Amino acid sequence: MRCSSILIFISFVGLLLRKEALAQFLEPECGLSGMDIKIFGGVNATHGAFPWMAYLYFNENTFLCGGSLIHKRIVLTAAHCIRNTEYLSVRLGEHYTASRAASSTVYRVTLAIRNRLYSKTEHIHDIGLLRLDREVMFNAYIKPVCIITNPRTVPYVSTYTATGWGRTENSVISAVLQVVQLTDTDPNRCYEYMKLRLGPEQICAFNPTGDTCSGDSGGPLVQIVNIDGIWRYVQFGIVSYGMENCMSPGVYVRVHHYVDWILDKIQIALTYKGKQ
């Protein structure tokens, strides 16, 4: 009897610890790719390897930006990507944009929120949220990325994975989702190229053979980390801006700096009854 009580107690404690671990994410089953991903520069991504990627477009199929699914109704993107919202739509499960795959699902944007401190000229606070017209049904090709809700528990990483449909080395928008590995870089390097001082809410990152480029804007900077014994992809940044030639360090929004803002605006988005 005593042994059974101990086992029940251990199981109860284990359940509490699991609930506590999952509570640190916006979505409990986030950041699970199901793919063994190896990246050596700007290459085509494997279909389904980054199931949180969002394809933002307007006027039927004019590509605008990337984004990331962080909640069953919410896509995270850059503030400068939020325009033409009346005609803005999102495709999830997208990979090869030249033809619509069965995995691709279209959602209308019914509310767009930009950070009120966003400055187009200073390139600061470049973060925004999009509310989708209905809840997303998660599957093998559509899953959320992890947003850690407690900034103090965000692990340190020195490299990131960026994905997007931006320009390739041949200066054309890619029809296939591209992926590149980036390294955290001294902010002074970004200043050398862009003459703008970065704040603590920004990341300077670089890959000399394949940086993010025009069209990658709004897409996520992620890395896989071990959290409570489970390897998950966590979003650390948002592609913000860089030089036109795309071969210099780029500037990214540091997501964990805006966690409180994200949580607050999600609550507003989910309770707001109107449009736009």
Per-residue pLDDT band at 20 (split at 50, 70, 90): very low
Secondary structure tally for the chain: helices H, strands E:
3, 13
Quote the number of domains for the chain.
2
pLDDT in tens, 113-155: 999 999 998 889 999 999 999 999 999 999 999 999 998 889 9
Q: Are residues 155 and 112 in the same domain?
A: no
Q: Which residues contact 8 (CB under 8 A, 6 or more apart)?
A: none
pLDDT in tens, 174-189: 788 988 899 999 999 9
| Among candidate residues 154, 212, 144, 155, the one with its CA nearest the CA of residue 183 | 212
Four-CA torsion 32, 249, 243, 190, nearest 10 degrees: 120
Structure tokens at 246: 């795309």
State residue 178's pLDDT score. 87
Q: Are residues 107 and 201 in the same domain?
A: no
Q: Are residues 149 and 108 in the same domain?
A: no
Q: Are residues 245 and 116 in the same domain?
A: no
The answer to whether position 38 is within a domain reads no
Q: Are residues 190 and 114 in the same domain?
A: no
pLDDT in tens, 201-251: 999 998 877 556 655 889 999 999 998 889 999 999 999 987 766 678 889
Per-residue pLDDT band at 16 (split at 50, 70, 90): very low
The answer to whether position 26 is within a domain reads no
The answer to whether position 44 is within a domain reads no
Q: 131 and 270 in contact (C-beta within 8 Å)?
A: yes
Question: What is the extent of the structural domain holding 124?
Answer: 53-143+260-271
Q: Are residues 102 and 133 in the same domain?
A: yes
Is residue 80 annotated as part of the catalytic site, yes or no? yes
pLDDT in tens, 1-13: 554 544 443 333 3
DSSP-derived secondary structure letter, 98: T
Is residue 184 annotated as part of the catalytic site, yes or no? no
Catalytic option among 47, 80, 95, 257? 80
> For residues 233 and 46, what is the distance between their CA atoms, to the nearest angstrom?
16
The CATH number of residue 98's host domain is 2.40.10.10
Catalytic option among 33, 71, 126, 211? 126
Catalytic option among 184, 217, 256, 257? 217
Run of H or E including 2: helix 2-22
The answer to whether position 202 is within a domain reads yes
Structure tokens at 130: 């999009």
